């Protein structure tokens, strides 16, 4: 299970924001990435692969592996690890083959 460092947990009182992950209301810290919000909500997989439907989750947390692709506010193929969570954001797990846009 994902846990914050104790000193970060103490700062949690400072400012929290509210987002929605797959229709579930989630509270996270202002400044969290979407991947951190997923982890802290207990969601480890954010997409399923196109061929085997195997669940995938944030792996590198630095924008290299593309395993953390999610749909954010209706826009697919967004990297959860590189996107800062914003108040009122709607995040959905991505499933199957992704559409490549020109």
E strand map for 7-96: 16-21, 24-29, 47-48, 55-56, 69-72, 75-79, 90-95
- 6-94: which CATH architecture? Roll (3.10)
| CA 86/CA 17 separation, integer angstroms | 7
Written as tens digits, the pLDDT of the chain (102 aa) is 566 666 666 665 668 899 999 999 999 988 899 999 999 888 888 888 888 888 888 888 888 988 889 999 999 999 999 999 999 999 999 887 766 666
Sequence spans of domains, the chain: 6-94
| CA 78/CA 63 separation, integer angstroms | 10
Q: What is the pLDDT of residue 49?
A: 83
Q: What is the pLDDT of residue 83?
A: 96
Q: What is the pLDDT of residue 101?
A: 66
**Which residues are CB-contacts of 73 (< 8 A; sequence separation ≥ 6)?**
89, 90
Q: What is the pLDDT of residue 4?
A: 64
Classify residue 17 by its DSSP letter. Answer: E
């Amino acid at each position: 299970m994902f846990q914050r460092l104790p000193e970060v947990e103490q700062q949690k009182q400072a400012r929290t924001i509210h987002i929605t992950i797959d229709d579930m209301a989630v509270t996270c810290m202002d400044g969290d990435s979407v991947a951190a919000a997923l982890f802290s909500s207990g969601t480890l997989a954010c997409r399923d692969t196109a061929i085997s439907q195997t669940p995938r989750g944030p792996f590198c947390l630095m924008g290299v592996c593309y395993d953390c692709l999610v749909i954010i506010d209706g826009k697919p193929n967004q990297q959860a690890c590189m996107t800062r969570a914003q108040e009122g954001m709607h995040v959905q797990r991505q499933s199957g083959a992704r559409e490549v846009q020109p």
